[in-house]
Amino acid sequence: MKLDVKVPSVGESITSAQIGAWLKTEGELVREGDPLFELESEKASMSVPSPASGRLEILVQAGAEVVIGQVVARIDAEAMAAPSAARGASLSAVPSAVPSAVPSASPDDTPLPRANKSPREESSSLPENPSSLREDGIERSPLSMIRKTIARRLVEARREAAHLTTFNEVDMSEVMRIRASEGESFAARYKVKLGFMSFFVKAAVSALQAYPIVNSRIEGDQLLKPGFYDIGVAVATERGLLVPVLRDADRLSFGEIEAALAELASRAKVGKLALAELQGGSFTITNGGTFGSMLSTPIPNFPQSAILGMHAIQRRPVAVGDQVVIRPMMYLALTYDHRLIDGREAVLFLVRIKDCIEHPERLILGQ
């Protein structure tokens, strides 16, 4: 008896997805619950388990776009009824998914020319690798569903909003002092490191409470003002940038924020986030400084109205009173929808962030 493997539902509003990669090979014996393939939707990816034990028959190849409910494979359950010796022989007969190595050419070998070379290729002095280049020298592969969605939403954000970015810089001395002095006890209590992001989440909540227009958004001809503070924190993954959301961040302690962020980021990187965890944020924070960025103009996570960009911390000379001293400084960027948020509110919002970070005791005391 053969059982169908169907594309599961991944969200009410999602009707199609993409086969990311098969985790088992054609003809392989699998057991019920084994992960068969990765399914990429517009928001996240997930592994789909086998509905039964048996031999796998793949009907749809990796990279193909599929619809919810579509049959993409079958499981031959009768194959598991064979004697164990036969099963062992069958398993050993499955061809390896690892391609055989391509022997490298000796220095005296002369590569065969490709037909129809373009003038650009004729003039290029770069060595060619026939095993990795297509006939025209360009390798083509389909975009993932997540990358398609990122591209579409960025264009949508640019088209629908009037973005403007304002900048400031913040002295990280006090936050770094607290992390150094309290980091060990914090980790012992919460089982997670005290990072920078919890300070910025707390600072963002304080600024959003002071300037609620930044927490609002335009929808059609209406102004929507959320009564909550759901903060999205961008996480870079191999599949693209994901933004899991910290719900009711104003009610979370520093320890709860760090623990939630660590757990969300860990699951984001392996494609285990639920769709609901990526939806409904009212404001987003992104940290390009993790990769060494000094300055950037981030694009708000549409339909949100604003996004805070953190950047790399660098020690540089700054004026403090009448003296020039060396301090660990970070540039901040706030990109906002100028249709809704005026320059005054944007600047004051960013100044509030700066004030909270440079005087973190106010965040700790809830001031």
Instruction: Catalogue the active-site residues.
Output: 338, 342
In eight-state DSSP terms, residue 23 is: S
Amino acid 111 reads: P
Helix (H, G, I), strand (E, B) or coil at 299: coil
CB 149 within 8 Å of CB 42: yes
**Residue among 46, 2, 4 nearest 21 (CA):** 46
Amino acid 95 reads: P
Phi, psi torsion values for 16, nearest 5 degrees: -140, 165
CB 243 within 8 Å of CB 280: no
In angstroms, rounded to a whole number, what is the distance separating the alpha carbons of residues 333 and 297?
A: 6
Task: Read off the tokens for 175.
Answer: 């936050």
* Cα 333 to Cα 13, 243, 346, 352, distances in angstroms: 33, 18, 10, 13
CB 3 within 8 Å of CB 54: yes
